[in-house]
Amino acid sequence: MRKNLKYTLPVLLLVGLSVAAFQTATTNPTRDAAVLKLVADALSQAHYQPKPMDDRLSESAFDAFLETLDGDKRFFTQKDLESLRTDRLQLDDQIQAGSAAFFDRSYALFVQRLDEAQARYRRLLAAPISAQSGEKYQTDPDKRTYPANQEALEDHWRRYLAFRVTARMVDRASDADSGAVLTPGTSSFDEAEASARKKELEMHDEWFNNLKDMDRGEWFGLYVNSFALAFDPHTEYFAPRAKENFEIEMTGQLEGIGAQLQLKGEFVTVASIVTGSASWRQGELEEGDKLLKVSQGSEEPVDVVGMGINKVVRLVRGKKGTEVRLTVRKKDGSTKVVPIVRDVVELESTFARSAQLGEDGSTGYIRLPKFYVDFFNERNRNCANDVRAEIEMLKAQGMKRLIFDLRNNGGGSLPAAVDIAGLFIDLGPVVQVKTSGGSVRVYSDRAAGVVWDGPLVVLVNEGTASASEIVAAALQDYRRALILGTKKTFGKGTVQNVIDLDQAMRGGSEDLYPLGGLKLTIQKFYRVTGQTTQLQGVVSDVVLPHAYQGIPYGEAEEKGPLAADAIKSASFAAVGKPDAFKRAVANSQSRVAKSEGFSRINTYAEWLKGERDKTEWPVSFLEYQLAEKSRSEQVKKFEKLTELKDSLAVRPLADGAVEMASAPAKKKEWNQWMKGISRDIYVREALYTVSDLSK
């Protein structure tokens, strides 16, 4: 199995998939033709829910590639779209024939428009940009149409650049001393305006140069991916370089701060946080944060708005032990400086960790960041074994009740998830998996006995996904635990496998390779009841207010997810005490309704929901400054929402105490972890709820 890791990577299941069936119809085709035909064959033959290569698919791929090229509507005009739309219903025929005709035509037009846009912003930024009172810029491209002609495109760029310069000036004034004031018509204002334009010019040059540095193969990969994503959000083509990066991520070879970054318009944005990394341990950097500045320790920060992602990554990365400070814009629009000490990913931080809660320490707490398992080395750590060991140690210390924290656990190994569910139930099915052919396999706990049969609460949130949803769903269906957290979990109920297209190709000449890879959805999993977590997630028994509850998030918000459906229920017997569950839920709802902390979270969520729709901003300096001041004052009212003023008693188990005593760094890490638990409003409510289950 080890030798096949290059071709087939474990995502939720280790699945063998024959690639010999995907063949090219011609001998020695070009690389583009080979990739297109291989991807078309794989999508139509091996995807869980194949779609016909027809005009509907062609339209979907056309729209997706247009979004890739110019989703912000800054380059193409309506006339350009009319020209490109002549091929809108031809892409299905072209991919099956191995033709890249539309890609070549649209790519050539894009390169031309890119050059024109560069000349335009350089000309506009050469002098102060006019901005009239009452004039606004729409920041949400979905609320804008493509400019009708070149004149409309010119006006769009004028408003956009005026908005960018104004925002930069206001940010600079906010960063300055409290007594600093910028007043239009003064020399200091003119100097600040000229400095802002100069910075915008530098940032846009950097951004455009990075776009132009992308080679044709990378753009072609994005074109092919437009077809893959038409099938579901998790099916994806990787051009050779992207495939290599994907394999590096899957094998855990990571460095730096441990945050995956991606370029969205002019902003480099945090796409995800690597579990166990320096960013994860520091705790303030979040998915969706936009990077504004990067500084090396206390050095002068470098403005990275509009900078290419490769250069930003080079600024963020560095030697272990050195500090980088990231100035980021949070989802609520506030600005924050996040200091992170660089490090390699410490695998220990991804492992299960436990503590004792309360003055008497009788409540156990286990945090599982991911479902880890080494598929190739039985001597290495397995999350199911680790959770078992933590439970046994907590029991030895007199544990009477347990909180199992699966928040932000994005999943991992399906067998490990089955084993973990088996720690709390005595034999029986845990999850069902269905293939595209309709056959269903039941994965069951086959180990007699339970490790913990006492009161149990599982903490979840919208980041609880995939394998962690399997565990939460099984424990809920067996009535073995109360699920506490956001209204529902993420809602990913599909399984992917990776095909190496080099292995799929037969009879080609060596100059065709490498061809890249295709991550393909091949199965769906279901609860023991026959219901699905796909789109629906796991609905919490106890729903707690959440800052982003008014903003849709999860699998259902992705483009083209597989539908939710149901299959027959497996044979299982629920356990648990319904009356105790009802009493605990009612008590929790009463506490939450009276809680000042949860009330503030609800208020913030409502405010944030309203702010989300405010996407038009003034262009003139004074009007923008006034709007920004009002928003900033609102944000300050909601600082440290989930942090309690008083602290809950938390202490480590014996192994944690030994680790703390072994090194100052370990002691600091444990203290930081325990402090976070002690002031976590959700852990506090979980403690009250699991205590109610004991009565």
CA 627-629-632 angle, 5° bins: 110
Residue recorded with tokens 């629920």 = 574
Please report how the helices 216-228 and 55-70 are oriented relative to each other, as an axis angle in degrees rounded to 10: 140
SS3 634: helix
Cα–Cα distance between 679 and 649 in angstroms, integer?
10
Compute the radius of gyration of the chain from its Cα atoms: 27
Catalytic residue among 58, 349, 466, 588: 466
Is 492 among the residues known to form the active site? Answer: yes
Decide if 335 contacts 292 (C-beta within 8 A). Answer: yes
Tokens of 96: 């099956």
Cα–Cα distance between 477 and 540 in angstroms, integer?
12
Question: Can you name the residues that pair with 327 across neighbouring β-strands?
Answer: 293, 337
- The burial class, CB within 10 Å (0-12 / 13-18 / 19+), for 465 is buried
Decide if 414 contacts 504 (C-beta within 8 A). Answer: no
Is 362 among the residues known to form the active site? Answer: no
Is 386 among the residues known to form the active site? Answer: no
Cα–Cα distance between 370 and 6 in angstroms, integer?
22
Cα–Cα distance between 171 and 166 in angstroms, integer?
9
Cα–Cα distance between 445 and 460 in angstroms, integer?
22
**Sequence-ordered alpha helix ranges (H) in 283-439:** 309-316, 383-396, 414-421
Catalytic residue among 232, 289, 386, 477: 477
SS3 645: coil
Decide if 499 contacts 235 (C-beta within 8 A). Answer: no
Residue type, 388: R
Catalytic residue among 492, 524, 588, 620: 492
* Residues belonging to the active site: 466, 477, 492
